[in-house]
């Protein structure tokens, strides 16, 4: 097998792989859409049936039918699991909520400082020669110190192929 043949084979394999992945992605999307539609419809039907059941039960605490013993289960108002908080979603609502909670209930909020490295800036420092990389892949800062628990991988050589026309 020569270079022309193996390159043609690779290109064919990539095309087949891409078309299969596209097909599977479409099928997954269709199945997911069908699942969501089914869940929404069945939830509406179930909620409607449960509401009818509640109405038929009325003020009675329990009823025995031919096949079922049906009773009301009241939520335990002394349990945290009874409640679900719906916190503000929009930015404006969050700002007002946060301000109010900080002023009125500071003990009920937890402030966290999230530390995330700015990867693009670190990569640029590598490009600029300010940070360095050892043969083992360790990242060395401008003080000559290895940055803890950080390694750098360099992309391997890629073979680029253009199809002749």
Cα separation, 95 vs 100, whole angstroms? 9
Least confident of 77-86, 127-136, 139-148, 153-162: 153-162
User: 60: pLDDT confidence band, cut at 50, 70 and 90?
Assistant: confident
CB 83 within 8 A of CB 75: no
Please give the pLDDT value at position 82: 84
User: 58: pLDDT confidence band, cut at 50, 70 and 90?
Assistant: confident
Average pLDDT over residues 9-21: 96
User: 161: pLDDT confidence band, cut at 50, 70 and 90?
Assistant: low
User: 31: pLDDT confidence band, cut at 50, 70 and 90?
Assistant: very high
Average pLDDT, the chain: 89
Does residue 24 have a pLDDT over 90? yes
Please give the pLDDT value at position 88: 87
Please give the pLDDT value at position 54: 86
Q: Phi/psi of residue 80, each to 5°?
A: -65, -30
Provide the greatest CA pair distance for the chain: 85
Does residue 26 have a pLDDT over 90? yes
Cα separation, 62 vs 72, whole angstroms? 6
Does residue 10 have a pLDDT over 70? yes
Q: Which residue has the tokens 């400082």?
A: 113
| CB-based contacts of 34, cutoff 8 Å, min separation 6 | none
**What's this model's pTM, rounded to 2 decimal places?**
0.54
């Amino acid at each position: 097998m020569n270079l022309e043949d193996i390159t043609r084979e690779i290109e064919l394999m990539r095309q087949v792989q891409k078309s299969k992945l596209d097909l599977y992605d479409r099928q997954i999307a269709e199945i997911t859409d069908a699942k969501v539609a089914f869940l929404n419809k069945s939830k509406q039907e179930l909620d409607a049936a449960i509401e009818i059941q509640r109405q038929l039960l009325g003020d009675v605490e329990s009823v025995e039918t031919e096949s079922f013993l049906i009773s009301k289960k009241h939520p335990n108002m002394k349990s945290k699991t009874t409640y679900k908080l719906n916190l503000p979603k929009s930015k404006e609502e969050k700002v007002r909520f946060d301000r109010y909670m900080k002023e009125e209930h500071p003990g009920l909020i937890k402030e966290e400082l999230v530390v995330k490295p700015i990867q693009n800036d670190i990569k640029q420092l590598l490009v600029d020669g300010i940070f360095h990389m050892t043969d083992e892949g360790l990242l060395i800062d401008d003080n000559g110190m290895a940055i803890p628990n950080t390694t750098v991988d360099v992309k391997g050589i890629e073979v680029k192929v253009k199809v002749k026309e």
